[in-house]
Amino acid sequence: MSSTDIVGLALSYVYVFSVIALSELLQRGLHVPVSSTRKFVHIAVGMWAFGTVLLFQTWYVAVIPPVSFVLINYISYRQDVFKAMESADKRNLGTVYFPISFALIIALYWAKPAAIVAGLMTMTWGDALASLVGQKWGKHHFSTFRNTAFATPYMCSGWPVN
């Protein structure tokens, strides 16, 4: 493990835990709704894609933080440790799925840093903005597994809608 990888690991944990701490402060101190602090965490952590490709030398070290956050986030999900990033819907495991996706994108595309950033930015911004658009303008509800989502009329063009 190179010294750059060690610095990358340290900065990854400092960055993500700082984001979580700030979201907790916003939620508890300023009473920012959890729906907003959750999106803040999602976007801020997703932006760490840039730090990942710039700081790490090896993919197998770069995946350590997201893999560890699969476990950390699952514990938080079960025990409600980080309230500012937990959904009221206890069926929503997004905080666990996100680091799984983060780690897989790193492992699969390590040789193509631009692909890592592009994939993570699409997931980061697309998911957060789709949620906002769906909540604001969504008219059609649909369920996948145990989660309910919204689709705007524009997204449903050509779909049979009841």
Residue 156 has pLDDT above 50, yes or no: no
Lowest-pLDDT range of 7-21, 27-41, 75-89, 102-116: 75-89
Q: What is the pLDDT of residues 28-38, one digit of tens each?
A: 899 988 888 88
Q: What is the pLDDT of residues 120-147, one digit of tens each?
A: 999 889 887 877 776 666 666 666 666 6
What is the per-residue pLDDT for 161? 41
Report DSSP state, residue 147.
Answer: E
Q: What is the pLDDT of residues 102-124, one digit of tens each?
A: 999 999 999 999 999 999 999 88
Mean pLDDT of the chain: 82
Q: At residue 30, what is the residue type? A: L
Please tell me the pTM assigned to this model: 0.74
| 3-class state of residue 161 by DSSP | coil
Query: Which of 50, 45, 56, 39 lies closest to 18 in space, CA to CA?
Result: 45
More confident residue, 153 or 60: 60
CB 52 within 8 A of CB 62: yes
Three-state SS string over 60-110 comes to: HHHCHHHHHHHHHHHHHHHHCCCHHHCCCCCCCCHHHHHHHHHHHHHHHHC
